[in-house]
Amino acid sequence: MNKYELAVVVSAKIEDDERAAVIDRCKALIERFGGVITEVDDWGKKRLAYEIQHMKEAFYYFIRFDAESTAPAEIESRVRIMDNVIRYLCVRQDEK
């Protein structure tokens, strides 16, 4: 099992319950592909470095999980088409 971190940038134009549903779907995807979530870090609303889809702010979430090496590709392919997710990135955490 490898350690991964999924960074998700969610639209600021949606309501709190919709935003929570987006993150719940991301967590469900991780668990569906055999991942074990270790931590969910909510950074809240932050200013974007540049405007994306006419938005200057968005909500940032970082989900850390353990999974097999095939899981991130499957997770990314599904997060890519999710509504209200404007950016995402899944990276492997190196052992220290």
> What are the structure tokens assigned to 73, written together?
């590709």
- Residues 39-89: pLDDT tens digits? 999 999 999 999 999 999 999 999 999 999 999 999 999 999 998 999 999
Q: Give yes or no for a contact between 66 and 75, defined as CB atoms under 8 angstroms apart.
A: no
- Total domain count, the chain: 1
31: left (phi over 0), alpha (psi -120 to 50) or beta: alpha
Expressed as residue numbers, the domain containing 8 is 2-92
> What are the structure tokens assigned to 85, written together?
């997710």
Q: What is the mean pLDDT of the chain?
A: 92
The model's pTM is 0.89
- Is the pLDDT at 94 greater than 90, yes or no? no
